[in-house]
Amino acid sequence: MKVLVCISQVPDTVTKIVLKDNNTAVEENGVTYILNPYDEWYALVRALELKETGVAESVHVIMVGKANTEPVIRKALAIGGDEAIRIDADSNDSYATANYIAEYAKNEGYDLILCGKESIDYANGAVGPMLAELLDTDFIGFATNIAVADNTATVKREIDGGEETDEANLPLVISCQKGVAEARIPNMRGIMTARTKPLKVVTPAAVTALTSVTHYELPPAKAGVKLIAADQMDELVNLLHTEAKVI
């Protein structure tokens, strides 16, 4: 069984975001980029677990991005990916991204495609289901457990108020979230071997994006904290009523 893991590069959550060009772009100088945690900790690690247990034969990782994303791709190889594919395009449009990946994957014979439930920058979670539609396969989202036997995947997923278990035949696209695998970090051997693992650069398919960013807005600054003495309950109630407006 061949597994493909879709990964993405995102800003580190501790990076301070600065906007430029009249709030139409993000200033990239000083921004630290990382491998999207949902892709790394859950989708990639679960794929590697399937390989380690003999269910999968190989694990490939794929990213849509320019040359500056290659250090992040190498990290995925250091964790355990066998081969990487970089589609040489720069897009934050989910439709375009899904199309780029689908055009490559459709002739490669992947049995299982895994991705994180969303990226932590745009958080729209749209690439997985779009990719499944473009490849004419089933899609299961928000997986917390994945087991594969013969040609069937059994997937547990979160739903409102509980959990359900689904079965679907391969090929299949699944988005993963917390619970599906335990995070791991690269070891020294993985870091060294990642340098020589294949990283294929692919020309993107001709796709017209359906969305574009018109501008960004930073969240409002956090207000200061008011400390109320323990014996001033009347003042606390008044502030909760007049300022916080929660009572």
Q: What is the pLDDT of residues 92-123, one digit of tens each?
A: 899 999 999 999 999 999 999 999 999 999 89
- List the structure tokens of 68: 């500056």
The SS3 call for residue 31 is coil
Burial class (CB in 10 A: 0-12, 13-18, 19+), 226: exposed
Tokens 């997937």 locate to 155
Contacts of 66 (CB under 8 A, 6+ apart): 88, 89, 90
Residue 202 has pLDDT above 90, yes or no: yes
Q: Could you tell me the CA-to-CA distances from 45 to 61, 101, 131 in Å, in that order?
A: 11, 20, 20
Give dist(CA 192, CA 197) in Å, integer: 10
What number is the average pLDDT over the span 73-78? 96
Q: What letter represents residue 211's amino acid?
A: T
Say what percent of the chain tops pLDDT 90: 71
Q: Could you tell me the CA-to-CA distances from 246 to 222, 225, 226 in Å, in that order?
A: 18, 16, 16
Give dist(CA 84, CA 97) in Å, integer: 16
Contacts of 1 (CB under 8 A, 6+ apart): 50, 55, 56, 57, 111, 112, 148, 170
What number is the average pLDDT over the span 218-245? 86
Q: Which tens digit of pLDDT belongs to each residue from 10-65?
A: 999 888 889 999 999 889 888 999 999 999 999 999 999 999 999 999 999 999 99
Residue 185 has pLDDT above 90, yes or no: no
Average pLDDT, the chain: 93
Instruction: Select from 61, 49, 70 the least CA-distant residue to 5.
Output: 61
Domains of the chain in start order, with CATH, are: 2-219 (3.40.50.620)
Residue 189 has pLDDT above 90, yes or no: no
